Structure 1
Amino acid sequence: MPRKSELNQELRDARKEQILKAALIVFARRGMVATKISDIAKEAGLSHGLVYHYFNSKEEIFSLLVKKAANSSIEIIQQANAFKGTPLEKLRWMTEQILNSFVDSEHTLLFLIMIQASTSDAIPAEVKELLTGDQSLSPVMCTLPIIAAGQEKGEIISANPVTLAVTYYAFIQGLAINKIQWPECPIPDANLLLKIFINEKGSSYHHE
């Protein structure tokens, strides 16, 4: 049987996850500046004091959510790089995974948190450092090797790869915002989203 200390740790971990999920909803709805710890506590169904027992501030909670969102994005790109296939097939697989994740509201809200963190001046210094520090950890920079490889192979159009990566994520973020504002929003399939990136002359890519 699990020891009491292990059970207590499981309870603490579950409680922290409960608070983080509630905070994700509140931050997405109200933004970090307008959000109060009491709002998060109410959403989580917990007392104000209990939230402070696990976290020092709303800024700490926001920072953790941004890290979670960033790590989630980088992880899917790493999986795409490991996917067997051509660069365009890797990009298509990654796009399918991202679009399919929009079925889960938590993933969609994490995209919105990243947008808030990228566009708001009133964010914790730790978050600013995370976003402006090591650019090799940003989704745009991590996607560049796939795009560049696709261009070398003639599968992806010849254009500035950074511009293409920025455009790609602008599509993704825009869809995430629409999905939050309009839950029934139809999400395009990967073929449609990738159409403007494909070099039709050099690609053996076929629509299904």
Structure 2
Amino acid sequence: MPRSREQNLEIRNQRSEDILHAALNVFSRRGMVATKISDIAKEAHLSHGLVYHYFASKEEIFTRLVRRAADSSVQIIEQSQLQAGTPLAKIKWMTEQIFQSFSEGQYILLFLIMIQASTSDAVPDEVKQLLSSPEFKSPVSCLVPLIVEGQQRQEIIQQDPVQLAVAYYAFIQGLAINKLQWPQAPVPDAELIIKMFK
């Protein structure tokens, strides 16, 4: 019996996800320049040609992963803003969610993809344009309004809100990289990071 249109779409979506999952692992280990489509195919247990059926190039795959990484960072901030409580309580909630996700290897690897995207000259032009676009929502720019609100409520220190947001994400990225290098590394309590805002 032939598959329905919905079944075909589900298979296509799952295979695309499998390729992206495999590519994330390979890009994280080998970097953008050294990765080949054949490496991604091998990691995904798919044929070289089948990967090309879903994606035109490794650059397209990398760009999709950068978009996913950026979106996931912004989504967690947007979710935190829906939580009850003060701005500082919302930042603490967000920090706890991020730390909890550290146990999911894929989430941590997205941090590496964003670091590659913003530091490597070899990334696709589309990624460079995305990151420099005025419409691009960076996690730092999305966190700043929450910090400003906390400062207006006198619960966050009166320092430059952009500098505070940058320091916050530097701390988070550092912990993510440390966790990749040392999987057994203890993740601090969210309160430790929150102290920087007080």
Mark yes or no: TM-score above 0.5: yes
Kept in 2, the 8 Å contact 1:157–1:197? The answer is yes
How far off is 1:134 after superposition? 2.5
> Structure 1 CA distance, aligned partners of 2:136 and 2:106?
25
Q: Is 1:101 the counterpart of 2:101 in the alignment?
A: yes
Q: Residue 174 of structure 2 aligns with which residue?
A: 174
Q: Pairwise mapping of residues 148-167 of structure 1 onto structure 2 (< 5 A)?
A: 148-167=148-167
How far off is 1:109 after superposition? 0.5
User: Do the aligned partners of residues 135 and 162 (structure 1) sit closer, same or farther apart at CA in structure 2, a change above 3 Å counting?
Assistant: farther
> Structure 2 CA distance, aligned partners of 1:20 and 1:141?
27
| Gap runs ≥5 in structure 1 | 199-208
Q: With the length of structure 2 as denominator, give the TM-score of the two structures.
A: 0.96
User: Do the aligned partners of residues 106 and 36 (structure 1) sit closer, same or farther apart at CA in structure 2, a change above 3 Å counting?
Assistant: same
Q: Residue 19 of structure 2 aligns with which residue?
A: 19
Deviating above 4 A after TM superposition, structure 1's stretches of 4 or more consecutive aligned residues are none
> Structure 2 CA distance, aligned partners of 1:196 and 1:90?
15
1:50-69 C-alpha deviation (Å, 9 max, x unpaired) = 11111000000000000011
User: Do the aligned partners of residues 46 and 136 (structure 1) sit closer, same or farther apart at CA in structure 2, a change above 3 Å counting?
Assistant: closer
Q: Residue 79 of structure 1 aligns with which residue?
A: 79
Q: Residue 142 of structure 2 aligns with which residue?
A: 142
| Residues paired across the two proteins, number | 197
Q: Residue 128 of structure 2 aligns with which residue?
A: 128
| Gap runs ≥5 in structure 2 | none
Kept in 2, the 8 Å contact 1:136–1:142? The answer is no
Identity rate of aligned residues, in percent? 64
User: Do the aligned partners of residues 4 and 17 (structure 1) sit closer, same or farther apart at CA in structure 2, a change above 3 Å counting?
Assistant: same
Q: With the length of structure 1 as denominator, give the TM-score of the two structures.
A: 0.92
> Structure 2 CA distance, aligned partners of 1:96 and 1:189?
8
How far off is 1:81 after superposition? 1.1
Q: Is 1:196 the counterpart of 2:196 in the alignment?
A: yes
1:13-70 C-alpha deviation (Å, 9 max, x unpaired) = 1111000000000001111111000110111111111111110000000000000111
> Structure 2 CA distance, aligned partners of 1:72 and 1:25?
17
Q: Pairwise mapping of residues 21-36 of structure 1 onto structure 2 (< 5 A)?
A: 21-36=21-36
Q: Residue 201 of structure 1 aligns with which residue?
A: none
